[in-house]
Copies of this chain bind each other. A is one copy, B any other.
Amino acid sequence: MSNPTAAMIVIGDEILSGRTQDTNSNYLAQQLTMLGIDLKEVRVVSDDKTQIIGAVNRLRMKYTNVFTSGGIGPTHDDITADCIAKAFGVAIDVRADARAALAKNYKNPDVELTKARLRMARIPDGASLIDNPVSKAPGFSMENVHIMAGVPAIFKAMLAGLLPTLATGIKILSETVNVAQKEGDIANALGIIAQDNPDVSIGSYPYYDNGTYGCNLVIRTASPTRLSDVTAVVRKTFVNN
C-alpha cells in the first residue's frame, strides 16, 4: 500500500513579488516527511480568485491532502475562505463556533469584534475548524483541504493541531553522504549503484560554495536494512577512510 500524498498551495502576491521568502512549504515538507505523507507538489499562486479556485479544485482531486497557507486575515485582500466555498460550491457565513473561538482573543468582543474581524469567522458550510492557539482566528478543513494562516508562527501552531488527525504512512528513512568531489567525477559509478538498487532512491545534490564543489548523496528507503546496506556501498565507493 502506498503512502498518503499531499500538495501545498501557498497563496499571496507578496511571495510572487519576491517581497517575502516562503518558509511554510519547507516546514510542512519536513513535517510530512516525518509522518510518511508524500508531498508531491507545491504551487504558489497570487491573491486571485480564478487561480486559487483552479489550484484547489485540481489538487484536491489528485492528492490525499491539500494544505494552503495565506489569505485568511481580516483585510480586503484575504479571499481564501471565499475561494474555498466557491471551489466546493457551498455557502459561507459567520459561524457561531468560529466567532466564539475568535472572541477569546479580545477583552471586549462586543466592541472589538468589528465587521472586518468577523470576516475571520466566516467558514464554508461543512468545514471543521482548525485551532489557532496563537491569535485565535481559526483555520478550517473542508474535506481533504486544510486552510491555514500565512504568518509562520500561526501556520506552525495550526499544523501542530491538524497533523495528528491525518492518516500517515510508512516513514521514509534517509542517510546523507557528503562527497568532496565534483558531481561529474562520481556520476558514472553512482549511476551503476542506482541501477543495482532500484528499490532505493539515491539523489545527488551538488553544491558550489566559495570555489569548492561537492555533493550530498541522499539515500532514501523505508527499509532500515536496505538503508544501511546501500549507504555502506556509497560510502565505500566515494569516501576515503
Contact = CB atoms under 8 A, between A and B. Distances in A.
Interface of A: 10, 12-23, 25-33, 39-47, 51, 73-78, 112, 114-117, 119-120, 134-135, 151, 153-154, 172, 174, 183-188, 190-191, 194-195, 201-209, 213, 218, 220
A4 to B, nearest CB: 14
A78 B42 CA distance: 20
Nearest to A209: B153
A132 B51 CA distance: 34
Contact of A153 (B76, B112, B208): B208
A184 B116 contact: yes
B153 A206 contact: no
Contact of A42 (B40, B44, B204): B44
A68 B71 CA distance: 27
Given A41-B44, A153-B208, 18 more contacts: A10-B42, A15-B26, A16-B29, A16-B39, A16-B41, A17-B39, A18-B27, A19-B218, A41-B51, A42-B44, A74-B183, A74-B184, A76-B187, A76-B194, A77-B202, A115-B188, A116-B187, A153-B209
Nearest to A194: B76
B76 A191 contact: yes
A16 B30 contact: no
Contact of A135 (B19, B25, B112, B208): B208
